[in-house]
Amino acid sequence: MNLEKVIFGFFILLALTLNFGFFLGEFDNPDHHNVYELFAALLVSLIATVLKFGERTQIGAVLLASSLVADLQLIAAAVLWGAAMSLSEVGMTSAVMASIVSLSGGALLANLASVTILIVETVGMHR
């Protein structure tokens, strides 16, 4: 067992599960989505991206691209959340929450692609 690959897989799976946890719930209900869970999903996704910088294969490039997409979507969701809470006079509305959850849903798809590629690569290594 390679400890580096364990840590790599751990952060990829943790990014997916944290993002899924934030995504679950009524789409436009702010009570069903926790800001700390979004922050944790973003932080772990950024760590997973940094871990992917060392991959020099074509699959590694696709993994990095999918992780960058997830990071971009989660950063946009966090910025939107911050703008709604600090800059808007209305505060968090159901429409803004729906946009934030939509962005995290896009990041969830990118994380799902990363995990799928990682599993396919892992299965292919044993042949």
Over residues 12-36, the pLDDT tens digits come to 999 999 999 999 999 899 999 999 9
Q: What is the DSSP letter of 56?
A: -
Quote the domain boundaries for residue 44.
3-125
Count of domains in the chain? 1
Q: What token pair was written down for 5?
A: 């690959």
CA atoms of 112 and 62, how far apart (whole Å)? 13
Question: How many CA atoms does the CB half-sphere of 9 hold within 13 Å?
Answer: 13
pLDDT tens digits, one per residue of 30-66: 999 999 999 999 999 999 999 988 778 888 899 999 9
What pLDDT sits at residue 127? 58
CA atoms of 40 and 124, how far apart (whole Å)? 31
Structure pTM? 0.90
Main-chain phi, psi angles of 92, to 5 degrees: -80, 120
